[in-house]
Amino acid sequence: MSTLQIPSRIPLDDYSSVIGAGEIAELRTLARPLADREVIMINSTAVGGGVAEILNRLVPLAEELGIKIRWEVMMGGEDFFEVTKSFHNALHGAPYHPEIRHFEIFREYTEKNAKRLPLDAEFMVIHDPQPCGLISYREKKNNHWTWRCHIDLSHSNPAVWNFLAEFVPCYDAAIFSSPQFAKQLPIPQYLFYPAIDPLSEKNRELPPEFILDVLARYGIDHLRPILTQISRFDRLKDPVGVIRAYRIVRRYFDCQLVLAGGGASDDPEGAAVLMEAQAAADGDPDIKLLELPAWAPLEVNALQRASTIVIQKSLREGFGLTVSEALWKRKPVVASAVGGIPTQIIHKHTGLLAHSVEGTAYQIRFLLSHPEIAGRLGEQGHLHVKENFLITQNLKLYLTLFLQLGKLL
């Protein structure tokens, strides 16, 4: 499907064209005291999902800076991942009544993994709840353990959180993606924003002819305004609400709507949501419902770059990195004020926030009427991402954390 190829390993110096040579020199300066020190990152999946995407980029960059960094993946059977998926949903606030057996399964797999994984690096970074219990098997008392929680714990199910709370305070530090996602803990909690890679297939510059080719493939007219929302077909992303907002905008502007994402083919709920969106579209030829494969970064990139306005009308959201992706491409964004979105969209500075279908429609109409304001928001949004949400900034924060934990300065 994707016809452009880029090497998966990108040298650090290549980022100087994006963030400047001074920032790269600073990374090298910060990494100097960490040369040859060991870091192990552990998560529960090697492919798919935002965490794997970040580690795929972060680990080679840290390695290039002379750090002995390894990325290990926790192994588990179907029963383990069923339990941890339930935990994950429950921590996001979904109703769940855990059984004692579920906690036993979690402990059994934690023990099995503790026997096979190296846990003695000077800096251990454990990502998300699945491998969280490994801290119980900490042997060296002088190494530093950090729990990096990528999910929003503000509405967590008390039974599941109380179980995890047995492990979390044993860490030396915890990292969250937003202050409102954090918990009251007796250990230091730090704020690391999730990050995008500006040189990845999803975010790099694309030749105009490739973008036009993608538009032609999906029957999208490049001469008329294109409103786009990229997200899974999931009710929390409110695709039907986006269609309702588009219908209001259509009274004033001859525009098109693109709703593109995955999740419909391998998820029964996703298929149902896609059908609801199809029903709401009611055969309108200017509404394109595109079911993309799970990994189609160049297509997503092209659709974002071709958009006049990008929408993220979520009802609930984690951090919402698709917003950063759009801002990076200098796109004006209209998004809901939920989850981590207001961190990225500073209202009237880097985009526009809305709280309803009507509000979303109004903000879109405003931007279509004032392209110069749309352009300014897009430009400032790009700078916001450049300063705060790039993988190089994430790397800098990890280096700083290790220096701080190891008292290396």
Partner 1 sequence: MDPGETPFKFFTVTYLTRIGNQSAGNLEELLTGLDQCSDASIFHHTFQTLSDHHFLTEGFSNDFAQWALAEANRDALAEHFAALDIRDYTSIAALRDDLCRVLRDFIAQNPAFSRQEALDRFYFCESVEVTTPFGLQARTLDEFRDGVASISHASFHFHFVSSRLRLQLGTNDFSHWLATSLGLTTLADTMNRIDIYTNTLDSARAKIIRLVDRERRKHEHVADPQPHPAR
Q: Which stretch binds partner 1 (CB under 8 A): 65-73, 195-203, 291-299, 344-352?
A: 344-352
Please report whether residue 397 would count as binding partner 1 according to CB under 8 A: yes
Restricting to residues 233-272, name those near partner 1 by CB under 8 A.
none
Quote the strand ranges of 177-327, DSSP E: 189-191, 226-230, 256-261, 287-291, 309-312
**Interacting residues with partner 1 between 375 and 394 (CB under 8 A):** 380, 383-384, 387-388
Q: Cβ atoms within 10 A of the Cβ of 59, count?
A: 17
CB of 28 to partner 1, least distance (A): 10
399 binds partner 1 (CB under 8 A): yes
CA atoms within 13 A on the CB side of 22: 0
Residue type, 213: D
Q: From the list 136, 180, 356, 369, which residue makes contact with partner 1 (rule: CB under 8 A)?
A: 180
> Per rule CB under 8 A, is residue 21 in the interface with partner 1?
yes
Q: Does 330 bind partner 1 (CB under 8 A)?
A: no
Question: By C-alpha distance, which of 72, 65, 67, 61 is closest to 39?
Answer: 67
If one asks whether residue 315 binds partner 1 (CB under 8 A), the answer comes out as no
Query: CA–CA separation, 323 vs 326, rounded Å?
Result: 5
Of 236 and 405, CB closest to partner 1: 405
Q: Does 195 bind partner 1 (CB under 8 A)?
A: no
Angle made by CA atoms 90, 96, 98, in degrees to the nearest 5: 105
Piece in contact with partner 1 (CB under 8 A), picked from 3-11, 65-73, 178-186, 295-303: 178-186
Q: Minimum distance from CB of 331 to partner 1 (Å)?
A: 16
Binding partner 1 (rule: CB under 8 A), the pick from 48, 118, 179, 208 is 179
Residue 176 engages partner 1 in binding (rule: CB under 8 A): yes
Per CB under 8 A, the list member of 191, 275, 279, 294 interacting with partner 1 is 191
**Terminal Cα distance for the chain, rounded:** 49
Q: Does the protein bind partner 1 through residue 396 (CB under 8 A)?
A: yes
For every residue of 234-266, DSSP letters joined together read -GGG-HHHHHHHHHHHHTT---EEEEEE--SSS
The residue among 159 and 408 lying less far from partner 1, judged by its C-beta, is 408
Q: What would the 3-class secondary structure string for 56-88 be? A: HHHHHHHHHCCCEEEEEECCCCHHHHHHHHHHH
In terms of Cα–Cα distance, which of 198, 72, 178, 188 is closest to 131? 72
Size of the site for partner 1 (CB under 8 A): 38
Position 35 contacts partner 1 (CB under 8 A): no
Check binding of 356 to partner 1 (CB under 8 A). Answer: no
- Orientation angle between helical segments 268-281 and 239-250, nearest 10 degrees: 20
Among 16, 18, 26, 92, contact with partner 1 (rule: CB under 8 A): 26
**Closest approach of partner 1 to the CB of residue 279, in Å:** 33
The DSSP output letter for 8 is: S
Give which of 319, 30, 386 is closest to 151, Cα–Cα: 319
Point out which residues bind partner 1 (CB under 8 A).
Answer: 20-23, 25-26, 29-30, 33, 176, 179-180, 182, 184, 188-191, 337, 342, 346-350, 380, 383-384, 387-388, 396-397, 399-401, 403-404, 409
